[in-house]
Structure 1
Amino acid sequence: MKAVVLRGIDEPLSIEEITKPIPGQNEVLIRLKAASFNKRDWWIQKGKYAGLKFPIVLGSDGSGVVEAIGEGVNKSIIGNEVVLYPAKNWGDKEAFQSKEFSIIGLPENGCFAQYISVPITNIYPKPSHLSYEEAATLPVAGLTAYRALFIRGNWQPGEKVLVSGVGGGAGTFALQWAVAAGAEVWVTSGSEEKIAKAMKLGAKGGINYKMENWHELLQTKAGEFDVIIDSALGDGFVQLTSLAARGARIVFFGGTDGNIPAINGRSIFWKQISILGTTLGSEKDFEQMLEFISAKKVNPVIDSVYTLTEVQTAMRAMDTSGERFGKIVLQID
């Protein structure tokens, strides 16, 4: 089968013929139709991710069709359209993942290939209103945003949401989930164009964080926020605490702009703000997210679609994250 292989740090992605996997006990073979990129893939290629291993087939997100089964699996599922839960071994604690937790695409081969074999517990029915390309955007970014907003952030009806740094995959999903749930949502971005796109998706408004005293301007427009979703950290994180309402939850799942800077803790304890970290999500979270998508008929935002032969161009597009809005998708079939 054809697969996209990374052979070392800063090496180009190459399309190679590798052995087609055979499903083992309680496993299924998926003929992949589409996959999508995450910043994780970019960091692995740059050598800035834990547990590097080469050669490796990247790609944590995938959708496709069940083509074959291993022993212990009912053959009636052959031909089913599915989307893949992107991890293994979450464990029996919903509050956090186990020490054995791993994500598809490192250390095990991922979805940038024609086929992948996974445990049957990793497959879920593809929402019927979604294309394969749309479904392939969901696993990592969609699940991360869902858990951040509804599980860790514990958003409740009537609460106001701020999505900090909208435009990336998870940030855009956080906006879409909150709008679909009926929240009043505001966004920040360094791009006026992205703010305009966010408003077309249902955001009430936004502010450019490159402006001086942007947080004061936003507070004047929108007031304070009950749930704040952030993926960057860095110096701008300080301003998020001033935008937080009493009892607010600030949830973050990335650190592309650095670490949490020095913060005045007095406002945090006086307003009883919770600062919460989150990573991906459990199988239960994933199932709930798919039910939510199907009920609300949400369509993920796709920035661009590439064919398998254009995979290196697609990876380079991850370098221009400041220009991207939504997910980058790879058509496989």
Structure 2
Amino acid sequence: MTDRIDGARRALVLGAGALACVPAATWAQVAQDRITVVAPFPPGGPVDTLARLLADGLSRRANKPALVENVPGGAGNIGIERVKRARPDGQTLLVIPAGNLTINPTLMTNFPFDIERDFTAVTMLATAPNVLVAGPGAKVKDLKDLKDLLAQAKARPGAFSFASPGVGSGLHLAGELFKQQAGVDLLHVPYKGTGPALNDVLGGNVPLMFSNLPATLGHIRSGKLLALGITDKVRTPVAPEIPTLMEQGVPGVVVTSWYGLMAPAGTPPELAARLARDAQEILSPPQVQEQLKSQGLQTVRMTPAEYAAHIKAETATWAGVIRSRNIKAE
């Protein structure tokens, strides 16, 4: 009981004024009448940021306590399971990155969920552009742009390698798509997370990296990394000076990092639609937009039906890439 109370106190995102709205009750009673937003990873990063913004906004709208539960472990699956087993009443929600919904079902052997069956798609929350960067190991001073890299890579197959946060990650698959679409042979060097991969690129041990823009933008602007192209259809307003791969002659590499909101299966359609509208309105104020932009995030508006269709289509795309490239989970 004590652990539960302490956890609730630490995770509550309400201030004292908001808590004053709650009738006098024991913490156990409050826990039964609260909104829980599950973030299936440790604190910090886009998932945690979005979850806390949502919890704060939902608590104000519902006039009840809201908390964020960080439930790491199992590549996110422990937190996902927590939401799968919850009642479909809109009180337990999941903020989740794209890969857990659209890549892991194919990549992971015996994936424990059927996303379409076990969950209700609510809405996409935000996207973060990805970028191909070159570090000192690519002799940045001699490398002018993407065309220069492609010329060198085609002249020396296998001479360049690229880092990613891990086998089967969206950024690894971005690299595989790039190899396919650009017709170049690059060696994949997987790491256990963005941090270690980025450190080795900055240290000159690996010449190239596919990364989400928020992790590399500071290094790009300081001159430590050379941005070769954004993996999206259009340039990002976060860094409009960086051209897309597409406009430089490499089509088909459209891989953005995105984060969405899910609810348990059986959530009524009208409730899912209301939650989608609430989430979009919570993230729309200028001060919230600025906070998200500082992390390289852009908000997105989707209905539950549009979001469900997006998940289904992207899952099919990644399934094709994973199988054709024979990518296996570590």
Task: Compute the TM-score of the two structures, normalised by the length of structure 1.
Answer: 0.33
| Structure with the larger helix share | 2
Ranked by relative contact order (alpha carbons within 8 Å, sequence separation 6 or more), the top structure is 2
Task: Compute the TM-score of the two structures, normalised by the length of structure 2.
Answer: 0.33
| Structure with the larger strand share | 1
Q: Larger C-alpha radius of gyration, 1 or 2?
A: 2
